[in-house]
């Protein structure tokens, strides 16, 4: 027998710290960022730039700035320009200016003594080091809100106004501040805020289709060919979309789904594996919700669960669900209810969060209702429903 081959080609490509070369649907923002820093590839000593990147969770703020940092330093070194990119997550340093600067200094002098200096002194020392080495630094303060929260206006003021106390000297410091929402800097005083807010790049939430593109790209890097189906990607994108367009959620789900696939030696990552992955993250099925369904709602849910268990699709039509329901009715020896009633049952199933429905207008015969089972593994749903129906019948 052939040994089982993992679906993964390189799972590190799904790691949260991996920075892909291509960022689908962020080209425009990447170009804009590069544009803001075009001076740094010519005469970085002449200017100091400040840019703010905002956007909701998982919209690619961190990865965009890191991609930019890697690209621009590579380009600078080709041109013989001393440019460094330093990315600091302020939250990791508890929002403390002192710890953030200590880290920045250690990038240039790893053995610099950790004690004995104030934040202000560290800032001065850092600039001195940059002067000595004739380097311009683009410092990204990721999760910037945490610095604002801890240190308030003064620290930010020190960073942004650094240059003004060094009239006619080379500029050493540019800043990229990354935050989810401009509300996080509301407590800064007006003048500090205005020095930051001149160049804002705001990242919009990803659409379903954009998430599909991002996931497809990642799948081709991380998985072996043809191990992840189109329906799997479609379902994962849908779930990431309903989690606020969070690409991270989608990528993590794919990784987990791959792990479940390998654990069961299935060879193909199916929508069912994604449902298993999502139910391990969010406990979606509350048994009391299932128990509260009436008899025919349970029969419809059972038919639908079986449909998904047998197919590898991410969605089925109402007509298919109706057929599956009719088969279940036969099994339970009851007369199926009418189409109109079924439609109502479907609304209940959707209201308690078991399924999701969508009216499609692109189907060949006009409007049709599509059903998804995004969160609950079909097998688990079937098992629970059978147990409940058995109890009810007894
Ligand atoms: N356009 C994209 N192309 C490829 N991967 C992307 C893209 N956007 C986001 N990602 C990936 O999605 C995940 C989340 O992105 P990132 O960490 O940059 O989000 P964020 O906006 O910084 O979120 P948070 O506010 O939670 O810090 C990362 O794994 C990142 O590589
Ligand atoms: Mg981030």
pTM listed for this prediction: 0.82
Is 378 within a domain? yes
66 CA distance to ligand 2 middle (Å) = 10
Any idea what the CATH number is for the domain that residue 187 is in?
Answer: 3.40.50.300
Check whether residue 140 and residue 222 sit in a common domain. no
The pLDDT tens digits of the residues spanning 70-97 come to 999 999 999 999 999 999 999 889 899 9
In the prediction, which pLDDT does 393 show? 64
Cβ atoms of 88 and 142 closer than 8 Å = yes
The pLDDT tens digits of the residues spanning 155-188 come to 888 888 776 777 778 889 899 999 999 988 988 8
Is 8 within a domain? no
Any idea what the CATH number is for the domain that residue 211 is in?
Answer: 1.10.8.60
Residue 139 Cβ inside 6 Å of ligand 1? The answer reads: no
Check whether residue 189 and residue 245 sit in a common domain. no
Check whether residue 190 and residue 230 sit in a common domain. no
Check whether residue 158 and residue 232 sit in a common domain. no
Is 125 within a domain? yes
Last residue of a domain, one of 179, 203, 227: 203
Task: Give the residue, out of 12, 62, 252, with the most ligand 1 atoms within 8 A of its beta carbon, to mutate for a pocket test.
Answer: 62
Last residue of a domain, one of 227, 248, 281: 281
Range of the domain at 373: 287-393
Residue with tokens 């790691």: 15
Check whether residue 36 and residue 109 sit in a common domain. yes
Q: Which residues of the chain have pLDDT under 70?
A: 163, 282-288, 362-366, 393-394
In the prediction, which pLDDT does 61 show? 97
Distances (CA, A) of 273 to 169, 172, 374: 59, 51, 11
Check whether residue 293 and residue 339 sit in a common domain. yes
In the prediction, which pLDDT does 282 show? 61
Q: Which two tokens stand for residue 192?
A: 């500090």
Residue 66 Cβ inside 6 Å of ligand 1? The answer reads: no
Rounding to the nearest 10 degrees, give the CA dihedral for residues 277, 279, 281, 285.
180
Q: Whose CA is nearest to atom 7 of ligand 1?
A: 60
Check whether residue 224 and residue 151 sit in a common domain. no
Residue 44 Cβ inside 6 Å of ligand 1? The answer reads: no
In the prediction, which pLDDT does 94 show? 87
Task: Give the residue, out of 21, 27, 59, 60, with the most ligand 1 atoms within 8 A of its beta carbon, to mutate for a pocket test.
Answer: 60
Instruction: Count up the domains in the chain and report the number.
Output: 3
- Return d(Cα 315, Cα 307) in angstroms, integer: 10
In the prediction, which pLDDT does 365 show? 59
Check whether residue 32 and residue 118 sit in a common domain. yes
In the prediction, which pLDDT does 196 show? 85
Q: Which atom of ligand 1 is nearest to the CA of 60?
A: 18
In the prediction, which pLDDT does 279 show? 83
Cβ atoms of 240 and 277 closer than 8 Å = no
Strands (E) in the chain, as ranges, are 50-55, 83-89, 136-142, 173-179, 200-203, 315-317, 356-360, 368-372
Check whether residue 216 and residue 322 sit in a common domain. no
């Amino acid at each position: 027998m052939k040994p089982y081959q993992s679906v993964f080609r390189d799972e590190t490509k799904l790691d949260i710290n991996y920075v892909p070369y291509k960022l689908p649907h962020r080209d425009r923002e990447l170009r804009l960022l590069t544009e803001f820093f075009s001076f740094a590839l010519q005469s970085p000593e002449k200017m100091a730039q400040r840019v703010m990147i905002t956007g909701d969770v998982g919209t690619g703020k961190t990865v965009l700035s890191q991609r930019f940092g890697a690209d621009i330093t590579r380009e600078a070194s080709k041109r013989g320009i001393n440019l460094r990119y330093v990315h600091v997550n302020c939250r990791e340093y508890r929002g403390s200016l002192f710890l953030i600067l200590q880290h920045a200094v250690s990038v240039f002098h790893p053995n610099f003594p950790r004690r004995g200096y104030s934040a202000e002194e560290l800032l001065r020392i850092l600039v001195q080091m940059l002067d000595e080495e004739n380097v311009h630094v683009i410092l990204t303060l990721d999760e910037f809100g945490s610095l604002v929260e801890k240190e308030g206006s003064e620290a930010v003021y020190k960073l942004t106004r650094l240059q003004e106390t060094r009239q006619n000297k080379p500029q050493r410091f540019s800043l990229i501040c990354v935050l989810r929402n401009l509300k996080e800097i509301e407590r800064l005083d007006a003048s500090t805020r205005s020095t930051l807010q001149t160049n804002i790049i705001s990242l919009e939430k990803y659409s379903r289709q954009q998430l599909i593109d991002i996931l497809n790209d990642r799948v081709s890097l991380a998985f072996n060919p043809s191990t992840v189906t189109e329906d799997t990607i479609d379902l994962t994108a849908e779930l990431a979309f309903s989690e606020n367009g969070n690409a991270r959620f989608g990528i993590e789900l794919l990784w987990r789904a791959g792990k479940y696939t390998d654990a069961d030696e299935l060879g193909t990552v199916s929508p069912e594996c994604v449902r298993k992955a999502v139910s391990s993250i969010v406990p979606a099925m509350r048994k009391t919700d299932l128990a509260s369904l009436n008899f025919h709602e349970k029969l419809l849910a059972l038919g639908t669960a079986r449909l998904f268990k047998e197919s590898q699709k991410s969605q089925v039509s109402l007509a298919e669900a109706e057929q599956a329901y009719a088969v279940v009715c036969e099994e339970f020896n009851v007369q199926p209810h009418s189409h109109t009633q079924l439609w109502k049952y479907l609304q209940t199933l959707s209201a308690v969060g078991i399924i999701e429905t969508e009216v499609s207008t692109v189907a060949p015969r006009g409007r049709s209702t599509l059903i998804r089972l995004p969160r609950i593994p079909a097998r688990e749903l079937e098992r629970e429903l059978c147990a409940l129906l058995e109890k009810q019948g007894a």
